[in-house]
Every structure is written in structure tokens, then in C-alpha cells.
Structure 1
């Protein structure tokens, strides 16, 4: 299945206290066809609400325009006060690439949004980040300098002519900044201290530091200190512009270090809006290594990150509602229909009067079960007092077997999909075009089971060591696992061989056949060794 392109929009509105206005903006977004509202995060002290929604590019632009209309009608900037810097009712509206869209696509979204809002509402719109080509007005802080109160005079300066809309000041609305950027994490570290102390830490860690001569320690970090009345504590409030360079856990550790030097307590942290799963897994891996932990399950890694960063200190952090990957994940019954079936259903469809799923899908399933039984044998040894001395070995062996098991599951559907592509290739019109399409489809139908063989074969080195050290109460489980793995590899090999007969590319044939035969031979020798080790153990 081809997944739809996805853009994220994260508009920030200058209203965080009036629930009816907050709800009205939410409704405008939710009622826009093609838009999915993922998160609404209001703040009373900041008097600001951050919305997060996704959709295809055109739908997301429609949703942002609809929300801007509501803000124009209901928010009065002449009455607005709050801790957060701002210059307009819809203060900033970034578009972020999520899936199958380019940064250029998001720049086009920002420009289309800016043009439509300026034309309809007659308000000034400024472009920033990737959508801006002017160095003096590329960053949000540059454009927002002077904030709402200084915007009237700013608009008189030719250097600050809006990218869209009039140069006249609209008191009730102010102005909007829109653009395209990569995923930004709005991240706050809680400090049991004063606003001034939190700001002092912000100056230490943010990239800009105190001045050009005295920069801060962390790249791609913007920050300031403020006091949040509803939390009754100060925060180092930051934007992490590139979490792959400076992830939340590094920011948390650096802020904590500075807080300790000031004899201040850190009371967890807060993510405003949504966060990529990758950022939390990076944090988990950091603490796993730092504390010599052994955790490979994704859900437990996420839980560890939430705990160590104190992400539930201000409000409950629900991974299903706060991690964007989980929010936009398509139902696996659509993307992996076979792998998502019940065991009974899969066996019944396997035995039905259809050519697919067939042996290739079954081979991938059997191989995945083999790797899974290997991982299970490791778990039946790990963490038990009787085998405590073997814990370091099990920590080494379980992760690659668990990974192979998970990597093999998608091959169940991939094999059937590849067969269906072969069928479709035969319907291509034109002799030469059909010939090329069929050759390409058959090559893919070969590469899929060959991939099954490669992943499954990677397990043998770990299974051999596992056979030497595992809890012998699980001997039969490991034997079944190894036999399943061997059967999966053999079945995938048969699929490779039968499809090779349809290929005309002799170089491809020779290369694939050699590799497949070598894997099969290695598998047959490996299972003999594993079974021999298990049968000869005396314990």
C-alpha cells in the first residue's frame, strides 16, 4: 500500500486561558477535511496554545487558514499579556515534513498559507526559516524582536515589509510568522528556583549564549528562563531545532548540571506538543548505557525515557498521545495484512484457492518463529539466580535474535506483494515494456526471499553460542527454533531458485545463486552443530 504524503503543522496562538476560544480553534482544524488534530497544549502563564495537526499538504494549508480565521475573529491582541514572546493572534505557523514530502513542499505550503491569509484577512505575514531568503529576517527571534508592542513601528521600516499582506498595523491581530522547518521539540526543564536563576541556566546552555563573545554550550538550542504560576516553579524553556544533534536528554543533563552548581533542584521536564519516537529512544539508550541496564523492548525504553527525564512532572505523559510516530501510524492490518492476522486466519488463507500467500510468506513466518524461539530461550536463562553468571552472555545474545525476529515479520507480506507485482507486470502493454516490467518484478520476487535468507542466517552465530550456555530446561524450545529457522531458510531458497528460471540477466542469476547456495549450506552445517552441542551437554 502507498501511504499518503504527510505534513505536520504546529500553529501557536496567543490565547491560553479562554477555553471557548481554544476550543473554537480546535473545531476549525478538526472540521477541515483531510486534517487530523493530534494535540492541543494550552499554557495559562504563557497565555498561548500550541496545536499540532497533520494531513496531506493541501489539507494542512486549508486547516491552518481556517484556524487563522477564528483567531482573527476571536483573539484581541490589544488585551493580550503572557510570558511567551509573541507578535500576533496566530503568532507562528510552521509546516514540517513528516512523510514522503520535501522541505520544498513545506515551503510551498507556508507561502500558500501566507498568501491566502493576507489576501482574506488583510494582515501582515512574514516568512521564516527555510521559506525565507533574507538573512536579516530568517530566524523567528529576528522577526519577532520588539514583539507585538513594537510591530507598528517595525512595519514602517522598508526592511520589514511583510512578505504577504499590508504594511498597515492591525491592532486586534498583529502579525503572523510562517515558514518551513525540520521537527522542533519544545522542551522545558523544571527548576525549583527563580525566573532569574532559570534564565541564567538558559544563557549557559543555549547556542546564542550571552553574546557572540560568550556563546552557550549546546548547538541548535534556543532558550530563556521564566516562571510558570500554575506549576509554581521556574522553567528553562527551550526550542531544540535539531534533536539529532542536541537531543532532550543531553539538554536535561546539562541543565541539571548547572542547577546543581547553583544548589537548585530539578523537578523533571516537560515536552510541549508532540515528540518523535527517535528522540525518546535516544534518551533511553543513553540511560541504558550509563546505568548498565538491559532493556530491548520499545515500550520499556519509552517508559525509561519518560521516567529519567521526568516527563510526567507537569502533566501525565501518555506515549500514545504524545509521540507523533504513534499518532500517525497506519493500522498494521492495512500495511501488513498477513502479519496482522490471527494464526487461524493466516493458516486458512494459506490453504485457500489462491496462489498467494504461498511458500515464500510461510518461509518468512517460520524463520521469524525460529528467531523468536531463540530469543525466548535466552530470556528463560537471563535474570534467574541459578544462571546469574550467564547474564552478560544473554545480554549479548538476546538483542540480535529479537531484532532478527522483528525484521523477518515484514517479509511475510513482502513476499506476497512481490508475487502480486509479477502478476501485474504481465498486464503491461507493449512487448518491450512488458518484458522489462516482468524482469524487474521477478528480480524483486527473488530479492525478497533472499532477504529472508540473509536475516535468518544472521541468527546462527548467536544460536551456536546460546546452545553452549542456555538453560537446558529450554533445550527443546531451542531445538524447535533452530529447525524452524533452517526450514525457513530452505523454503526461501526454493522460492529464489524457482524464480531465477524466469530471469534473463545471467550476471544476476550467477550472483544470486551463489549467495543463496552459500547461505543454505551454512544453515545446514550450523543446525548440525547446534543440535550436536545440545545433545552432548551433560548439565
Structure 2
């Protein structure tokens, strides 16, 4: 899955539709960015945009939005209820998928530097990007708001991290940084607003004051009554769902409500959420209830049901989970073909797809057959005695099969970098050196793909032995074919490593890689024989 970063810039404009729409269009028009939400407030005179992109495109989306704000927003005329000190008041970057907090910090720094230089305005770093603790919290950075900014910029302690240390009346200043994903979450209470607020005070981190802190960290909350639902709610912001996850908040509300003889009637997520937060909830209930669930879609469904996320409105995963909203069909032209089409493509008068793609396909078929037999054994009454072995085996082989399938296409595209190097000019010594370096890097990339196939396949053997030993005996031949297919897939990938290795100049890389691949190939032959021996004894 690609890297996904969420950006939530807040602009000091909530009334002029032309400006609001112009900023939205700037984000929407940035290639690689997906605008998810635009939330404007008349009284706050503020609009919050939510969009996602990767580590490069998200910077461009934020820059495009800032450029519009620089032209169209004049902070000297701005009044609103929400705290603010800049046209683009705050611009946090949030890790969503396959991205670290450190990467988001670097993204925020790059954005601040580029925007400050181009727009000529001051930028402050806050939260995880802050270099000094006293600048970490947004309220501290924004203290005194726009009206105090001119004098504050004269204080050396508040010199901007990027941009001029001078007051720009039309802009003010911007705070940018990196933080965890904030989840807006409400739990429904069949009670009064006072009772819901009482629960919120017990749970939120601030509690009832410094002398009476709440139970849960990184939680802000209160209680209110929603007329349209005819229910009260404990409404919270989960500032870090790794510290206080959704399911923990829900279970604590249930516990507090029970002490007040109140019923909990489900919950709702306001806005969107990362997939991980729901998978965490599912894993909690799977462990708590001793369930056996391995498919992602079923885990999401379990989380939705246990948290009652359909209680006030339908929870549609494709509209609420970030990764599903921005999902694109995988670029797997070979793996997406019909079986006939794939075989015919291999037989065509072209060098790719070839043995590498075929090897990955065979390895995937090998683990898939093991997965099939385990699934056909699991849950059958007469095989209840081996249920633990099957429940352990199924997730491993299921995920390995999913991981091996992309290797079919990855192998075909593995030579792109090498071919790019081959086409480089070679007239001068410098050009020859650059060409050789590019070709060598390309060969290493080409080796890494079949090596990845080998590594994945290698992790299947112990589990395949378990399936051979405890699986449905009627499926004996399926496991036999699976073992031979996996062995052949690993052997084929090994041959692809060998053929590319002969031109590698890096002797250290060659020695280390050959030692690993030879060990995997040797173990593959031994483990295949072991699986077949187990089956022959049945």
C-alpha cells in the first residue's frame, strides 16, 4: 500500500464562498492529492480542509492552498470566535498509512521552508516538529492571537522557524507540524446531558481539574444532548488512538454508564478514520471473545457491530475509512489477467513476463493450496480436534498468498531501472561511470524481487507441514501439489537471482545475497521432502 499522509489546514475564512471554493479547488487540482472534506463555520469565520497525499504530493497540495490564501485573505479585516493568528492558521500533517511520524515532521519542515520563502511570511513549527518544548503546544505558539503577533515577533524567543521575523498584516503567521490522527467520536447514552457530561468528566484526561484528573490519556470530552437522536452523548476527541483507542473509550463509557444504571446505544465516528483504528478494535474483541477472524473485511464488520457504529447513521467503510476512500486498483496487469491470458502472455514472443513472474505465480499457488486445505478442514465437526492447528495456519497462508501475488508483476517491471541505465550516454568517462552505477543499481533491484519471492515462500514451510499433518486427509493431493509448486516457485526465483548476480560488481552484496538465497533454496528442497513424507505416512 502506498504512503498516505493527511493534511488538515485551517484557514481564517468561513464566510466568503468564493475564497472557500478557490482554496478547495487548489487542493483538488493538485495531482496526487484527494480532498476529503471542507468544513466551514460562519461564527468561527474559519474553514477546515482535509486532504490526503503521499510525502511529496501533500506538500504541493498545502502549498497550492497557501498561495490562494495569500492572495485572497486579509487578516487585518478578520474577526471570529475561534482562536487564530494567521490566514493559514495551522497546517498539521498526520501519518495515516505506511508513514512514520518522523517522515511527517520532515514533510512539515519542507512545507514551512518552501511556503515561507515563496510567500514571504513567518512559519512556526509545533507539536512533534517543534525543536523546543515551549513551542510544542499550539495554544502557546498562538498566545495572544493575531492582535499580539506584531509585538511577539520582536521577542527573540519567538523568532519564526522559517520566514521573516516581521509582522505581515495581511497574513499574520502559520503554525505547521506533525501530530497523530485525531478521531472525533461520540458514544450514545440513553440518559440526560448531565449524566453524559458526568461520564465525560470521569474519563477525559483533564478530568474535573488538576486535583481530579480523568482515567484516559489524550482524551478531550464533554457530554451533551442531541435532539435529533433523542439521546445524550459522551462526545470526545481521541488525540492519539494508539494511547486511548476507540474500543477502550467505548468500553469505559459502558462501564461508567452501568454504574449509573444507564444504557449505551452504540456510537458514531464523526468524519473519517484510519483503518488501523478499527482493526485494533476488532483485534480487541477477537481476543476478548475468543473469535477466529482473519479477513480484513470481517474484522471491520466486527468492529462496526461491537461499537454500534450503525446506531445513528449507516457506517459505510468505503466512505468512512481513509485507506478505502483513496484506494486505487493495484497496478497488476498480469495478476489481474485471466489464467488463460496470463499463460498466453508468457508464451508470446517477448522476454517478459518470463520465468520470474511464473515462479512467483507458482509460489503463490503453492501457499494458496495450503490455505485452501486448512480452510476446508477448519470448522468441520469431525476435525474439531485439530481446530487449533488450523486456526493458527490459515492466517499465515492466507496472508502469504496475498503477498506473493504482487510479485508476479513486480518481477516483470524489475528491469526498468537497469534498462534506464543501459540507455544513458557513455561518451565521456563521467558518463560511463554514471551509466555503470545506474545499471548496477538496476541489477540489485532486479535481484531483490525474486529474493523477496524466496523469502516469502520460505516462511510458509513450517505451516505447510502443519497442514500436511493435521489437514483433511481427503485433500492430501492438494497439499502435495502445493508443496511441489512452492518448491518450484522458490527454485525458479533462485535461478533469477543467479542469472542477474553474475554481472554484479559489489562483492560484499554478492556474497551476502548468495549465502542467503542458497540457504533458502536448500531448505526449500528439504522442507518439500518433509511435507511429502508426512503425507505419505497418512
TM-score bucket (shorter structure) = 0.7 to 0.9
TM-score by length of 2: 0.79
Q: Identify which range, 447-456 or 485-494, moves more after superposition.
A: 447-456
Displacement of 1:268:
2.0
Aligned to 2:186: 189
Q: How does 1:46-57 map to 2 (within 5 A)?
A: 51-55=49-53, 56=57, 57=59
Does residue 496 (structure 1) correspond to residue 497 (structure 2)? The answer is: yes
2:481 paired with 1:485: no
How far off its partner does 1:296 sit? 0.9
Q: Residue 267 of structure 2 aligns to a residue in which SS?
A: strand
- Counterpart of 1:463 in structure 2 is 464
Map Cα deviations across residues 100-144 of structure 1 (whole Å, 9 max, x no partner).
76324325646877999998xxxx999753566786675356678
Of 420, 427, 442 in structure 2, the residue corresponding to residue 424 of structure 1 is 420
Q: What residue in structure 2 maps to residue 231 of structure 1?
A: 229
The yes-or-no answer on 1:8 pairing with 2:6 is yes
Find the counterpart in structure 2 of residue 179 from structure 1: 176
Superposed CA offset, 1:6-57 (max 9, x none): 65333568999x9x96x99467514652153223578999999864223522
Query: Residue 60 of structure 1 aligns with which residue?
Result: 62
Q: 1:154 to 1:67 in 2, by over 3 A?
A: closer
CA distance, structure 1, for counterparts of residue 325 and residue 279 of structure 2: 16
1:242-274 deviations in whole A, cap 9, x for unaligned?
222322222222222222222222222222222
SS at match of 2:377: coil
1:94 aligned to 2:95? no
Residues 217-226 or 23-32, more deviating:
23-32
- Segments of structure 1 that go 5 or more residues without pairing to the other structure are none
**Match in the other structure for 1:474:** 475
- For 1:228 and 1:109, locate their aligned partners in 2 and report how far apart those are by CA, in whole Å: 40
Residue 29 of structure 1 corresponds to which residue in structure 2? 24
Q: How far 1:358 sits from its partner (Å)? A: 1.5
For residues 175 and 154 of structure 1, do their structure 2 counterparts lie closer, same or farther at Cα, with a shift above 3 Å needed? same
CA distance in 1, matches of 2:10, 2:310: 22
Distance verdict in 2 for CA 1:50–1:317, change over 3 Å: farther
Query: In 2, distance between residues paired with 1:415 and 1:315?
Result: 45
Q: Distance in 1 between matches of 2:265 and 2:504?
A: 64
Rounded to whole Å, the distance in 1 between the matches of 2:507 and 2:133 is 56
Distance 1:108 1:512, change over 3 A: closer
Whether the 8 Å CA contact 1:26–1:37 is kept in 2: the answer is no
Match of 1:281 in 2: 279
CA distance in 2, matches of 1:255, 1:159: 44
Pair 1:221–1:478, CA change in 2 (3 A): same
**Alignment of structure 1 residues 343-492 onto 2, 5 Å:** 343-428=339-424, 429=426, 430-492=431-493
Distance 1:535 1:136, change over 3 A: closer
Report deviation, 1:359. Answer: 0.7
1:252 aligned partner: 250
Cα distance change on mapping 1:176 and 1:243 into 2, 3 Å? farther
The question of whether the paired residues in 2 share the 8 Å contact of 1:65 and 1:117 is answered with yes
Do the aligned partners of 2:417 and 2:441 also contact (CA within 8 Å) in 1?
no
Q: State how far apart, in whole Å, the 2-side matches of 1:249 and 1:86 are.
A: 31
- Structure 2: tracts of 5 or more residues without a match: none
Query: What CA distance in whole angstroms lies between the structure 2 residues aligned with 1:47 and 1:226?
Result: 24
Secondary structure of 1:502's aligned partner: coil
**For the residues of structure 2 that align with 1:532 and 1:396, how far apart are their CA atoms?**
22
Question: CA separation of 1:285/1:46 partners in 2, compared to 1, >3 Å: closer, same or farther?
Answer: farther
Is 2:101 the partner of 1:105?
no
Name the CA distance, whole Å, in 1 between partners of 2:259 and 2:40.
Answer: 32
Distance in 1 (alpha carbons) for counterparts of 2:269 and 2:148: 33
Q: Is the 8 Å Cα contact of residues 268 and 308 (structure 2) preserved in structure 1?
A: yes
Compared with structure 1, are the counterparts of its residues 457 and 253 closer, same or farther at alpha carbon in structure 2 (3 Å cutoff)?
A: same
Instruction: State the SS of the aligned residue for 1:418.
Output: coil
Distance in 1, matches of 2:86 and 2:314, equals 28
Q: CA deviation at 1:402?
A: 1.2
Distance change (3 Å), C-alpha of 1:526 and 1:413: same
For the aligned residue pairs, the C-alpha RMSD in angstroms reads 4.2
Contact 1:204 1:217 in 2 (8 A): yes
Native 8 Å contact 1:29 1:67 kept in 2: no
CA 1:198–1:133 in structure 2 vs 1: closer, same or farther (change >3 Å)?
farther
- Residue 312 of structure 2 corresponds to which residue in structure 1? 314
How many residues are paired up?
A: 512
